[in-house]
Amino acid sequence: MPVGAGVAQRLFVDPPSRRAVRDRVPDATPPRLLAGRDRLGRVEKDAILEAVLAGTAPKPARAWWWVALPAFAAAAIALVLLWPRAKPDDFTARGGGAPVAMFAPSCTTCARGAKLAFDLQGTTGYRYFAAFARTNAGDVVWYFTGKDLATSLARGVLDETVVLETSGDYRLYGVFSQQPLDRDAIKALFADDGRVREVAGVKVVDREIAIR
Amino acid sequence: MTIFRDDRPLLERFRRGDRAALAAVYERYVDDVATLARRGFTMESSGHVYVRGASREAERELVQDTFLRAFAAPARTAYDGISPYRPYLLRITKNLMIDRHRAAKAAAKHVDDTGVGDIDALLAANADLGGVDPVALDWQAQLAATRAYLATLDAETRQIVTLRFEDELSQEDVAAKVGCTRRRVRSVEERAQAELTAYLRQRGLLS
């Protein structure tokens, strides 16, 4: 141990944030050796950014809901079964036809910062719509829930758009329902393995998009 | 030119703490902060005191602490969006370096007071290796061992390591190039670092 290290150690007590980055990159030397350059490289920069964001940015929605699914599943099924049925209206299927849920995002390979619109043309028999996206890592970005299609469509396109802020590959989910569903009820639609449960009056449609 | 000039939406998102906006600001200035932390600077106002550049670990900590301070909610919301942002950030780095410089001097004085003697003279004597920089010497030996370690890797791992560390591509871009998942890239890069650390330690090249 170098002379005075004990004193220095007492003077420089690691704050938690600094310890966090050390945990991610245990030593600065190996990544620099692998890069062949003795300066801050991409891997270290990414680790630092991760630690900085963890310490400063408001937390995004996390994929905790896969863990809590059993409880939500029971609640949602009960909700859907026991919810009082609405009277037929403009968005209830007529003439005995089965309800149809259709949606297309305005882009599938989208530029970061672009606005994403939801084209629901062809949808019948469902009154409410919700949308969210999920990354491969399981992070969830909620866009909206409980959009009343009776008042939110203009020529088949939802009147609300979302700004795509973070690059990556996403699976975009559109949830159609005859009753408004909140986030918990929507989370309960998904089984542990990510498959969608069959629930009367609800249809989930998914699409892949990439934000570059 | 400051990153926020003519980009009011970015400034608004930055102030809200939007992760993509913070990441954009970080990417724009991280190299400047790291360069200052590595090279050090001279304080003319204090009689030309030279604040030495940091070690690798300290450099990384300075970069991290600079952005932690600059991205904290009070600093984000207080920034007017008009003053140049780079000098503001580098001022934070300098202040952190000055704080550490003073703390190190205080630590050295404490050692002196306890009878160990002049720490600078002691360190200088220990560092006398005939004019060869011991850090550079270590680096060359470690680099040679790293090349030997890389030669033991399979083709896919070596490609991921090259793209990620040498070419500095993002995990997403490496995954797209190699045709695997981002998770796989992350796992390979973490394993490569851990294995190289063990490889160097076995050979006495890393403490």
Q: How far is A26 from chain B (nearest CA, A)?
A: 8
In the DSSP assignment, the letter for residue A205 is E
Distance CA A42, CA B165 (A): 7
Which of B139, B169, B196 is the closest to A30 by Cβ? B196
DSSP H or E stretch at residue B68: helix B56-71
Please, are residues A169 and A139 in contact by the beta-carbon 8 Å criterion? no
Chains A–B, number of C-beta pairs less than 8 Å apart? 159
pLDDT digits (tens, 9 = 90+) for B161-174: 999 999 999 999 99
Distance CA B11, CA B21 (A): 8
Q: How far is A159 from chain B (nearest CA, A)?
A: 22
In chain B, the DSSP E strands lie at: 40-43, 49-52
Residue-wise pLDDT tens for chain B (207 aa)? 678 877 888 889 999 899 999 999 999 999 999 988 888 877 766 666 667 766 788 888 889 999 999 999 888 888 888 888 899 899 999 888 888 878 777 766 554 444 444 445 544 544 444 444 556 668 888 999 999 999 999 999 999 999 999 999 999 999 999 999 999 999 999 999 999 999 999 988 887
| Chain B partners within 8 Å of A17 (Cβ) | 64-65, 68
Per DSSP, helices labelled H in chain A are: 5-11, 16-24, 29-35, 42-56, 69-82, 149-152, 183-187
pLDDT digits (tens, 9 = 90+) for A122-173: 788 888 999 999 888 788 888 888 888 888 887 778 888 888 878 888 889 9
Residue B172 to residue A168, Cβ atoms within 8 A: yes
Distance CA B121, CA B104 (A): 15
Residue A38 to residue B56, Cβ atoms within 8 A: yes
Question: Which 52-111 residues of chain A touch chain B by CB within 8 A?
Answer: 52-53, 55-58, 60
Which of B13, B61, B122 is the closest to A3 by Cβ? B122
Distance CA B196, CA A37 (A): 15
DSSP H or E stretch at residue A118: strand A118-119
Is ipTM beyond 0.95?
no
Which of A7, A52, A112 is the closest to B68 by Cβ? A52
Distance CA A78, CA A180 (A): 14
| Per-residue CA distances from A12 to A6, A174, B44 (Å) | 10, 51, 26
Q: Closest chain A residue to B25 measured between Cα atoms?
A: A49
Please, are residues B58 and A42 in contact by the beta-carbon 8 Å criterion? no
Distance CA A212, CA A108 (A): 10
The b-or-e profile of B112-121 (16+ CB within 10 A means b, else e) is eeeeeeebee
| Chain B partners within 8 Å of A43 (Cβ) | 164-165, 189, 193
Q: Which two tokens stand for residue B24?
A: 């954009």
Per DSSP, helices labelled H in A57-155 are: 69-82, 149-152
Residue A7 to residue B111, Cβ atoms within 8 A: yes
